Amino acid sequence: MAGNLYAIQPKQPAPRRLPMVRIAPDKAAAFRALARQQGLTASSALAALVATHVDIRQPFGPRVRAQHGPDGMRYGAILPDPKVTEEVAEGLVRDARTAGISLGEAMRQLVDRCLEQSR
């Protein structure tokens, strides 16, 4: 017999949900397409992107205000709220605070960096 498959496992840390990312529709579409190319959902791609940031720790820039779109909104699309470990979430929160920006702005900057580097 191959071990005790039904043994009670230690409690795993619960993932933390990051906020949904409000973003320009063209960027949301490009990010979703890039995620699909990699065989990922937008949520899992965002989670991987945040985890990568916590390893790299490239500082965030100041808030960049998007221009109003044709419908009068700056951020007319939403990317889903990814689940990450508490450690990864805390790293992102710390870096956003250091830059003086919101968590949503930090996520937008990560998506922008990802899209720029994927060209």
pLDDT of residue 29: 96
Q: pLDDT per residue over 52-87, tens digit each?
A: 999 998 999 998 776 665 555 678 899 999 999 999
Distance CA 42, CA 29 (A): 10
Radius of gyration of the chain from its Cα atoms, rounded to whole angstroms: 17
What's the pLDDT score for residue 55?
92
- What does the pLDDT look like over 1-43, one tens digit per residue? 455 677 676 666 668 899 899 999 999 999 999 999 999 999 9
Count of Cβ atoms closer than 10 Å to residue 24 Cβ: 19
Q: How confident is the model over 92-103, as pLDDT tens digits?
A: 999 999 999 999
* pTM across the whole model: 0.82
Angle at 75 between CA 46 and CA 113, to 5 degrees: 40
Write down the pLDDT at residue 1: 47
- Residue 74: per-residue pLDDT: 72
Secondary structure class of 91 (helix, strand, coil): helix
Give the three-state DSSP class for 85. Answer: coil
What pLDDT does residue 73 have? 64
Where does 1-119 have alpha helices with state H? Answer: 25-37, 42-56, 86-99, 103-117
Give the pLDDT confidence of 41-56 residue by residue, as tens digits. 999 999 999 999 999 9
Tokens at residue 46, please? 């965002």
